[in-house]
Amino acid sequence: MAVPGWPLPTFCTASAARTRAVSTARWSSSVHSRSVVLAPRLADPGERRLLVACAGAVRELAGEPGDRLLHWDLHYGNVLAGEREPWLAIDPKPLAGDPGFELMPALFNRWDPRRVRFRFDLMTEVLGLDRARARGWTLGRVLQNSLWEIAEGARELRVEQAEVGRQLLGW
């Protein structure tokens, strides 16, 4: 999770981040075009509408993708107690973008549908994130995860993905 005001780790300079990281701008363009092809494979029209709404949220943010170095796979299994630092984030998938893109794993892991809004509101408040932007990027993650599963043959959304999407869309 990119936290405002925290320096980048010493092992990653800004130039290395630019050459190694995918950008959320490029990611959003790719995920939107994939949604046009893959969303019609879903059996439920309501789920297709959900993915269209997620794609719309991403499209609104594509012009301002952010420039922070993100982990992209930050979840409780990838954060370990460390010796040189209290916590060590492992297995990063470097991405340059908006910190709101990182919230999905905390909503999805250790799933509890009653806690989605609470977790989202708490994280955006504690991290000082713009809620509207964080909502859009989190809906982008719902879209991304769902498209991966549809590409693998799924004909319906995972319950967790659909529920996070519905709650953040206010449905």
Kindly report the number of other CB atoms within 10 A of residue 16's CB atom: 13
pLDDT of residue 24: 65
pLDDT of residue 169: 97
pLDDT of residue 10: 35
pLDDT of residue 130: 96
Q: What is the pLDDT along the chain (171 residues), one digit of tens a residue?
A: 444 443 434 333 444 444 344 566 676 677 778 888 899 999 999 999 999 999 999 889 888 878 888 888 888 888 899 888 898 889 988 888 899 999 998 898 888 999 999 999 999 999 999 999 999 999 999 999 999 999 999 999 999 999 999 999 999
pLDDT in tens, 103-117: 998 898 888 999 999
Catalytic residue among 73, 98, 112, 121: 73
Q: 103, 3 in Cβ contact below 8 A?
A: no
Sign of the alpha-carbon torsion through 105, 110, 111, 116: negative
Q: 116, 107 in Cβ contact below 8 A?
A: yes
pLDDT of residue 99: 92
DSSP 8-state class, residue 2: -
What is residue 146's three-state secondary structure? helix
Question: Is 130 a catalytic site residue?
Answer: no
Q: How many alpha carbons lie under 13 Å from residue 81 in its C-beta half-sphere? A: 0
pLDDT of residue 23: 64
pLDDT of residue 62: 81
pLDDT in tens, 64-81: 878 888 888 888 888 899
Kindly report the number of other CB atoms within 10 A of residue 130's CB atom: 13
Q: b vs e for 138-163, b when ≥16 Cβ sit within 10 Å of the residue's Cβ?
A: bbbbbbbbbbebbeeebeebeebbbb
